[in-house]
Structure 1
Amino acid sequence: MKNPFKRKYSEKELEMYEFLNKLTLFEGLSLEELSNFVPYMFLRRYKHNEAVFFKDDPSHALYILRSGKVSLNLDLKGKFERLAVIHASDTFGENSILINKKRLYHALVMTDNAEIFAIPQINIHEIFNNQPLIKAKMMENLSGMNNKFMEDLFFAYQSSFGFFSMSLAYKNK
């Protein structure tokens, strides 16, 4: 039997939830859970070579690329080394869901224009405090993303043995 009191979503809302559900960080969240984030998604427009953020900036927002491309770069003695190119329907700045973290790289717009949603960290943590299941799901997704990154890092290291010392990644704390 259908529940007559079940919330109905507009076509525009459903489009946004479908967009979010394709993102690894938001995988497994229900429509109702995704609806918590939409009021805090602020669309910003950037131009070519505009910085979204710089290395060591406080991680105060999660970014979702709606259109365009963003380059993630490390600054090595004045020269940029590209870590990745982010395409539409991808997230970056994921460490913003953790408290008191800084950006690990620079994020620069590569295309003439880019549309990027920003979700402020304060709003993410407000959702987490009120809905611990959402926090658990997203932390699990973030852990999976970090595990994939480590797999890729180890593969890159094995493919180019001798170019850097992996032990530096595992410094004693």
Structure 2
Amino acid sequence: MADKLLPLKSELLKKTDMFSSLLDHELEVIADHSEFRTYRKGDSVFKIDEPGDALYIVRSGEVLISKQEPYGPVIDIARFIDGNCFGEIDMFTESDRGVSAHATGNTELLIFPKSGTSFADILNNHPEISARILHKLLAGISSRIRSANALVKENSPIIQELKKQVYRDKLTGIYNDTYLLERVRKNISIGLSFALIISKPDNFKELNDEYGHEAGDIVIKLMARKLRDYTGDDKRTVRYKGNAMAVMLPDVDRDEAYNAAKGVQNFLKGLDISEVTKGKKFKLSASVGIALFPDHYTDPEELVFKTHELPLIGRNRGGNCILFPEDGAE
């Protein structure tokens, strides 16, 4: 039985760079081994670690590509809209998916090859198509590499601005959690010992309740700016999440890390926030978590995640605590 959608499939395939060089009869072969599939909002297209055995072309709607960071947030990587093709590299290299994909709304995709069909078998049966597609794929990858190299060489100010957008916290201007995790990963990869200190005010909710969330944002900016001045090193001071502030100290022992954490705690307790409270007495109380590499953790994500949990444990114990991981055990 003839596939009534074959012309529509061929037209969509022809518009993608990978299949644009195929002759009409070759496009029909690819179209005949493709299928349309519809998705509703939130439906999974594929999940991380699934076999990369197909590529996808968006006929309508949108697909979001994302990745779950271990012990961290889900990071949005890319969005694909009408006419975009994705998943082809995994299919050609027979690799498992390194990311997840889901529909952000009602979406229709053209999938090649269709269920029950092997990409390798198709190419073995049609070697001339294989050669054309492979040539297009390699040309596309080479073009992307050349473009990226040109961007780095010719537009270094743009690269610097991109780094600022990626690594700087928009509210406070200091470094953010993305920067922190990369620094932790790098230090662990080269075997550089360090301490990570993460502090959180115990009574920040009371501040927000009494003076409002705008006042809370002002205090966060004060904390960030003053803590950076206190540490004397922009690259050591990070806004991790919400009102949590992090400080990294290279090559320190347990006692030195504790003394530094005590200093951070005292700094927060003594922070002048009278501009927010309009003269009313309100002093921050703070709990602080400390983890050492390699003493406590050797996995970057786990080290950051577990250290961030310690001030929360301290707050639940009444606040004003300084805790190492072994102190946080119930």
Query: If the TM-score is normalised by the length of the shorter chain, which range does it land in?
Result: 0.7 to 0.9
Say whether 1:23 aligns with 2:10: no
Say whether 1:85 aligns with 2:79: yes
CA contact (8 A) 1:28 1:137 kept: yes
**Deviation string for 1:29-74 (max 9, x for gaps)?**
0110011122221221111122111222111221121110001123
2:97 maps to amino acid: R
CA contact (8 A) 1:44 1:115 kept: yes
Counterpart pick for 1:108 among 102, 105, 120: 102
Structure 1 residues 43 and 14 mapped into 2: Cα distance closer, same or farther (>3 Å)?
closer
1:87 maps to amino acid: I
Of residues 32-41 and 115-124 in structure 1, the stretch that sits farther from structure 2 once superposed is: 115-124
TM (norm. structure 1) is 0.75
Of residues 144-153 and 50-59 in structure 1, the stretch that sits farther from structure 2 once superposed is: 144-153
1:160 maps to amino acid: I
Map 1:48-127 → 2, pairs under 5 A = 48-77=41-70, 78-111=72-105, 113-120=106-113, 122-127=117-122
Structure 1 residues 44 and 13 mapped into 2: Cα distance closer, same or farther (>3 Å)?
closer
Identity of aligned pairs, percent? 24
Cα distance between partner residues in 2 of 1:81 and 1:50: 18
CA contact (8 A) 1:40 1:123 kept: no
- Residue 7 (structure 1) aligns with: none
Say whether 1:135 aligns with 2:134: no
Structure 1 residues 102 and 153 mapped into 2: Cα distance closer, same or farther (>3 Å)?
farther
CA contact (8 A) 2:53 2:119 kept: no
Cα distance between partner residues in 2 of 1:152 and 1:75: 28
Map 1:2-13 → 2, pairs under 5 A = 13=6
1:28 maps to amino acid: S
- Residue 160 (structure 1) aligns with: 159
Cα distance between partner residues in 1 of 2:107 and 2:82: 9
Of residues 147-156 and 57-66 in structure 1, the stretch that sits farther from structure 2 once superposed is: 147-156
Question: What is the DSSP-based 3-state SS (H/G/I as helix, E as strand, rest coil) of the residue aligned with 1:125?
Answer: helix
Structure 1 residues 101 and 44 mapped into 2: Cα distance closer, same or farther (>3 Å)?
same
Structure 1 residues 81 and 144 mapped into 2: Cα distance closer, same or farther (>3 Å)?
farther
CA contact (8 A) 1:97 1:125 kept: no
* Rg comparison, structure with higher value: 2
Quick check: which one's helix share is greater? 2
1:146 maps to amino acid: I
2:38 maps to amino acid: R
Question: What is the DSSP-based 3-state SS (H/G/I as helix, E as strand, rest coil) of the residue aligned with 2:118?
Answer: helix
2:91 maps to amino acid: I
Aligned length: 157
Structure 1 residues 150 and 76 mapped into 2: Cα distance closer, same or farther (>3 Å)?
farther
Cα distance between partner residues in 1 of 2:78 and 2:148: 13
Cα distance between partner residues in 2 of 1:69 and 1:81: 17
Q: CA deviation at 1:117?
A: 1.9
